[in-house]
């Protein structure tokens, strides 16, 4: 572990231990109690809307004076409609099916010796995120619903917003059977660094932010890390695409919220359709304020700026789009293999063979056909919210909701059974499946 990461302070250790104790108690509470706690948090957030928006305005003013990047400002902003939508998401989490106590396996190993595998909470989540204060609400709701405690650390630019939200969340928990200490807000860089050394108290770290943030965390902790380092998403417009549909999808994928990790950064266009599609795309994207950068073929069709090698591997998080003309589907897949981040990639085509090939071959958490990459989101998937998006190949993958916050435990019930009897051949396993 890097020597730049200090040991956690005694105060942080004490607070983290309190979160863990509360989490252990929470994991034993009933579905109804956890559901009621999440609804109580939503009610408290609703009651505190005015103070949360005011705190966010103060954060935005400070960000403006400090020249914060536009992409971060967009993520930082939490106005009335955005807050209302976030609170609705919290309530949706409360209505989701209980992820705890689900029996996944049930087997009779022998007469009177029965094995089952049952879902249980992870324990304590450590979440570090940049800018987005609405992440506090999403993560807190998912954590409580799934029986987990959480230590949350937002960026300095969102400190007032996060504090106001956490106050409301803990007020809501205080009105429920769940201890408010199940949630804890970290407020300094020293605490966020100390979090990385809380192995034994924290079970999973979830970073939400820049590539640099995720890489630093992965390199400086022994705690398992769930996250994605880049959101370099692609849309491939195939020769058999409907041009109008493809342009509609491309515009939404880039411009609906360019700061999001699921916005496209590169548009790949089949050489056959490029002479008609690229000029149309140039007009539409430039009208939407998008700066275009292209390869030689795209520039020959009217793109004004040359794309460098770095453009193909850059997450702009802004109104900038790189365009490349490719020979065929296989060339598009090769480009994505080389430059993609295994986040979300899409194809527009009416050719079912090309569609099936793309959906099978793209090694990404999300592979889409004829729709915007902006759908890569826990709320849009019906998860109520998400703790983050994972681009690792091991599960959980993609938007991570409740199912990604539980693990399982094997329970074996016997009647004096001993392994020696099976080793000697005195008894034999039946391994008979039982109803779940």
How does 137-172 read in b/e, with b if 16+ C-beta sit within 10 Å? bbbbbbbbbbbbbbbbbbbbbbbbbbbbbbbbbbbb
Q: Which pLDDT belongs to residue 161? A: 97
| Contact yes or no for 332/236 (Cβ under 8 A) | yes
User: Going by CATH, does the domain composed of 10-226+387-408 fall within 3.40.605.10?
Assistant: yes
Model pLDDT for residues 333-376, shown as the tens digit of each residue: 999 999 999 999 999 999 999 999 999 999 999 999 999 999 99
Q: How confident is the model at residue 229 (pLDDT cuts 50, 70, 90)?
A: low
Token pair for 269 = 């266009």
pLDDT at 29: 97
Token readout for 340 is: 């993609």
With a cut of 70, say whether residue 3 has pLDDT above it. Answer: no
* Rounded (10°) angle between helices 31-47 and 134-145: 160
pLDDT for the residue 395: 87
Question: How far is the C-alpha of 158 from the C-alpha of 292, rounded, in Å?
Answer: 31
User: For 14-42, how does the pLDDT look when each residue is reduced to its tens digit (9 = 90+)?
Assistant: 999 999 999 999 999 999 999 999 999 99
For residues 436 and 103, the answer to whether their CB atoms sit within 8 Å is: yes
pLDDT at residue 178 greater than cutoff 50? yes
Encode 391-427 in three state secondary structure: CCCCCCCEEECHHHHEEEEEEEECCCCCHHHHHHCCC
Taking only the tens place, the pLDDT of each residue in 248-291 is 999 999 999 998 899 999 999 999 999 999 999 999 999 999 99
Averaged pLDDT, 99-115: 97
Confidence of residue 2 (pLDDT cuts 50, 70, 90): very low
The pLDDT, as a whole number, for residue 378 is 87
Q: Name the pLDDT band for 424 (thresholds 50, 70, 90).
A: very high
pTM for the full predicted model = 0.85
Quickly name the fold that domain 233-375 has.
Aldehyde Dehydrogenase; Chain A, domain 2 (3.40.309)
Alpha-carbon separation of residue 159 from 19, 136, 253 (angstroms): 20, 11, 30
What is the arithmetic mean of pLDDT over 372-397?
Answer: 89
Task: Using CB atoms within 10 Å of the CB of residue 25, give its burial: 0 to 12 exposed, 13 to 18 middle, 19+ buried.
Answer: middle
Q: What is the pLDDT of residues 62-87, one digit of tens each?
A: 999 999 888 788 889 999 999 999 99
Mean pLDDT in residue range 397-409: 93
Domain ranges of the chain: 10-226+387-408, 233-375
Residue 1: pLDDT above 50? no
pLDDT value, residue 132: 86
- Section 379-401 average pLDDT: 87
């Amino acid at each position: 572990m890097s020597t730049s990461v200090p040991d956690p302070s005694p105060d942080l250790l004490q607070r983290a231990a309190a979160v863990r104790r509360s989490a252990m108690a929470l994991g034993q509470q009933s579905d109804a109690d956890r559901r009621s706690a999440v609804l109580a948090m939503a009610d408290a957030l609703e009651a505190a809307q005015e103070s949360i928006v005011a705190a966010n305005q103060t954060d935005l003013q400070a960000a403006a004076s400090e020249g914060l990047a536009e992409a971060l400002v967009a993520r930082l902003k939490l106005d009335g409609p955005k807050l209302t939508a976030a609170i609705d998401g919290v309530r949706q989490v409360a209505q989701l099916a209980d992820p705890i106590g689900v029996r996944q396996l049930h087997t009779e190993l022998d007469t009177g010796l029965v094995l089952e595998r049952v879902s249980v909470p992870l324990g304590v989540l450590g979440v570090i995120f940049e800018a987005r204060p609405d992440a506090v609400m999403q993560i807190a709701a998912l954590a409580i619903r799934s029986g987990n405690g959480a230590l949350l650390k937002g960026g300095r630019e969102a400190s007032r917003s996060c504090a106001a939200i956490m106050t409301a969340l803990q007020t809501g928990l205080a009105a429920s059977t769940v201890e408010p200490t199940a949630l804890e807000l970290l407020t300094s860089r020293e605490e966020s660094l100390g979090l990385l050394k809380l192995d034994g108290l924290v079970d999973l770290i979830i970073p939400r932010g820049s590539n640099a943030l995720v890489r630093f965390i992965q390199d400086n902790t022994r705690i398992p890390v769930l996250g994605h380092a880049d959101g370099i998403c692609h849309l491939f417009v195939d020769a058999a695409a409907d041009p109008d549909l493809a342009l509609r999808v491309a515009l939404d994928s880039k411009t609906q919220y360019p700061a999001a990790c699921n916005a496209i950064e590169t548009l790949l266009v089949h050489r056959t359709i490029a002479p008609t599609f690229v000029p149309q795309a140039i007009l539409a994207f430039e009208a939407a304020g998008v700066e275009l950068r292209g390869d030689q073929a795209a520039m020959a069709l009217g793109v004004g700026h040359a794309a460098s090698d770095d453009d193909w591997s850059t997450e702009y998080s802004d109104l900038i789009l790189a365009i490349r003309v490719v020979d065929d589907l296989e060339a598009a897949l090769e480009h994505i293999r080389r430059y993609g981040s295994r986040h979300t990639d899409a194809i527009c085509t009416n050719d079912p063979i090309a569609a099936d090939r793309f959906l099978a071959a793209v090694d990404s958490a999300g592979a889409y056909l004829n729709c915007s990459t902006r759908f890569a989101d826990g709320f849009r998937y019906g998860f109520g919210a998400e703790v983050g998006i994972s681009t690792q190949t091991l599960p959980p993958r993609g938007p991570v909701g409740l199912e990604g916050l539980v693990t399982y435990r094997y329970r074996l019930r016997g009647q004096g059974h001993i392994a020696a009897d099976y080793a000697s051949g005195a008894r034999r396993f039946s391994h008979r499946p039982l109803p779940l």
